[in-house]
Structure 1
């Protein structure tokens, strides 16, 4: 039996993950999902704004927003605020965690040291696969460039990737962690993220719909408030074409599959409808036995100028429509505005990160062992194919 196939009896009581978790996306959630497999409880340390700014540059979201977002992820049992940027044995012991788990990318301090060096040297570090095709750096780049490459044809994406690679002046063609990429969704991935629970007899089913682009604290607050109205929350995710018809420009920033996984990662969500219909029809209401249809009061109505029909007409006619106040002023537009207000800072942050990663790749290549594999400095690499 491999390490990733341990029975629950063999698993330690508590295991540790940590990070900035800025612009929390499904890649972060997938790493936490995998980490949870190694212990009975997953404890997640989140760095404060001062630490993030020192080592990576200013975060887009405040520490309080980031703490709340990580707490909302379904595989997280406990969040430790103000976690140190470099993970130490003292930290693991303080919170009774057997070992630390991180993705197979490199995280470094401001002075270029591996943030997991101490726990690696002591054999209390395990590694899982990062989610290829998404990163905070990539999402920032999409917004800074107003790029629509994530919606392009396959050949157009390939051309953009090759263009990016050709611009590199390093001996390493590219960083394997920060680059133009694309996420490929499979049914297995969807099953891993889905709770898989069916509504029970007598459950009050609540329905919401929208783009849920760049999933943020405003979305989470809204979904938590919606779930409080019933027992089972279904979230309809509008397709890319529909979102673009009323948002225009490069929207949505994240494509449909990325948005679906982002929503599925959160505790209030029971089920999603992928590519949900724009108009919430009586047929949809009947098919899913929906008791309440909810719209947020702080979000602009998702309706294109050409469409004069209210998408909530059927729900209103049945008397099952309601609006709720999420209590949060954060919207997708507000997130994008935060980034544009500090555009030069985030461009410099991205460039610095890529440069550091390229240097790390080059250093690792020089440490190759006789089998042609990279020496990961005492890392325990876990096969996550069965996680």
Structure 2
């Protein structure tokens, strides 16, 4: 039996006033004459306490609330991350279900990322405690029973945007009927449909640039302009959102700070794995995220696909990242190394090609000269360009999928009302 170590008399008086009063009166009477009882003394109260255990409330542990949220998490972005952050805030433990490739094909069309890649992205998020792979697209009665009984889920969570099955029914209807459904606020300004649209728009831009040499049409990276067909991000960055994603802690005085930089555009499984490897080399991982203009000047005017603040939130959401530099300089200087107390600078063996940087200075010249630079073997060969090429190679299928999704999103925004939350 478990007991608390203090306040036992107070608890006894509160819960058993008559018994305690009688006991105290008896003790007082017995104390009047020890000789009357032949020198036999009264048992100490601590002894009575430990023997009977009647004066104490038993320790009880508060039940941990487990919440479940599922999704395709295809072309995972900061909107997905923010949804999972909100879901975690509704309980103590967040269990995430990743929908299978087959279910996505049947209900939405072909996914861009494989189940393995989507699993790596979800597992890499700082708010996720457990992942269930290959869950169904709809919350069926059988699956709901599995969640409640086997996984001990208390609530099922989804965004305020409707999720319909091909037959037009609500995918979360059963969870709502069971009274075990909670809703969170959708993150504005981004969706997988929007990102696919950004990539598909680059096809028309590239064709136009092949037919014309007009820099106004194709975009001049040196002037920070974009192609005419470029889709503008609808994301509205706020300081509050950055704070919500940030760890809010700096490195300790003797911490080994590892620095890695890049565009981290269209955040993918390769990014997660290289960040994990980099974090294992020290105590604190600092990530430099290059500005939009820097990325464009290196790779061309169709890049980056995701803008600086969007990319920053995706990186901040990764469980292996401690801090980011938003708009990090291209060249790493001695002053920067001193300012952030950087112990090691790393770069992956798999990286995007930068065709516009031929003949320019080595961005890692200073850390190399200081003996603190290291090439890090990239666990995966995936790149932002290779992901974009998957969409471009199957652009007809994705254009059809996007047209269908665009209609439902248009309807959502037309009927949208304010939803409290963040």
Q: TM above 0.5, one fold?
A: yes
Tell me whether 1:122 sits opposite 2:178 in the alignment: yes
Q: Distance in 2 between matches of 1:201 and 1:301?
A: 37
Q: How does 1:291-370 map to 2 (within 5 A)?
A: 291-300=343-352, 302=354, 304-305=356-357, 308-357=360-409
Cα distance change of structure 1 residues 10 and 352 upon mapping to structure 2, 3 Å threshold: farther
SS at match of 2:244: helix
Whether the aligned pair in 2 keeps the contact of 1:92 and 1:99 (CA below 8 Å) is no
SS at match of 2:342: coil
- Give 1:361 deviation, angstroms: 7.8
5+ long unaligned stretches in structure 1: 1-8, 162-178, 366-372, 375-380
Whether the aligned pair in 1 keeps the contact of 2:68 and 2:97 (CA below 8 Å) is yes
- Give 1:356 deviation, angstroms: 4.2
Whether the aligned pair in 1 keeps the contact of 2:100 and 2:135 (CA below 8 Å) is yes
- Give 1:253 deviation, angstroms: 0.4
Tell me whether 1:131 sits opposite 2:187 in the alignment: yes
The residue that corresponds to 1:233 in the other structure is: 285
SS at match of 1:215: coil
- Structure of larger gyration radius: 2
- Give 1:358 deviation, angstroms: 5.4
- Give 1:307 deviation, angstroms: 5.5
Tell me whether 1:20 sits opposite 2:76 in the alignment: no
The residue that corresponds to 2:312 in the other structure is: 260
Q: Distance in 2 between matches of 1:358 and 1:280?
A: 44
Whether the aligned pair in 2 keeps the contact of 1:12 and 1:98 (CA below 8 Å) is no
Whether the aligned pair in 2 keeps the contact of 1:11 and 1:40 (CA below 8 Å) is no
Tell me whether 1:383 sits opposite 2:420 in the alignment: yes
Tell me whether 1:90 sits opposite 2:145 in the alignment: yes
Out of 79-88 and 351-360, give the one that drifted further.
351-360
Whether the aligned pair in 1 keeps the contact of 2:139 and 2:171 (CA below 8 Å) is yes
Whether the aligned pair in 1 keeps the contact of 2:161 and 2:412 (CA below 8 Å) is no
The residue that corresponds to 2:245 in the other structure is: 193
The residue that corresponds to 2:106 in the other structure is: 54
Aligned residues: 340
The residue that corresponds to 2:5 in the other structure is: none
The residue that corresponds to 1:100 in the other structure is: 156
Q: Distance in 2 between matches of 1:67 and 1:306?
A: 36
The residue that corresponds to 1:216 in the other structure is: 268
5+ long unaligned stretches in structure 2: 1-60, 206-218, 220-224
Whether the aligned pair in 1 keeps the contact of 2:256 and 2:283 (CA below 8 Å) is yes
Tell me whether 1:203 sits opposite 2:246 in the alignment: no
Q: Distance in 2 between matches of 1:126 and 1:261?
A: 24
Whether the aligned pair in 2 keeps the contact of 1:160 and 1:180 (CA below 8 Å) is no
> 1:66-111 deviations in whole A, cap 9, x for unaligned?
1111010000000000111112432431311111111111112222
- Give 1:201 deviation, angstroms: 2.5
Q: Distance in 2 between matches of 1:45 and 1:67?
A: 9
Whether the aligned pair in 2 keeps the contact of 1:25 and 1:214 (CA below 8 Å) is yes
Whether the aligned pair in 1 keeps the contact of 2:164 and 2:170 (CA below 8 Å) is yes
Q: Distance in 2 between matches of 1:11 and 1:241?
A: 50
- Select which of 331, 340, 344 maps to 1:288: 340
SS at match of 2:106: helix
- Give 1:197 deviation, angstroms: 1.6
- Give 1:11 deviation, angstroms: 7.7
Whether the aligned pair in 2 keeps the contact of 1:12 and 1:38 (CA below 8 Å) is no
Q: Distance in 2 between matches of 1:304 and 1:228?
A: 32
SS at match of 2:388: helix
The residue that corresponds to 1:270 in the other structure is: 322
Compare relative contact order (CA 8 Å, sep 6+) and give the higher one, 1 or 2.
1
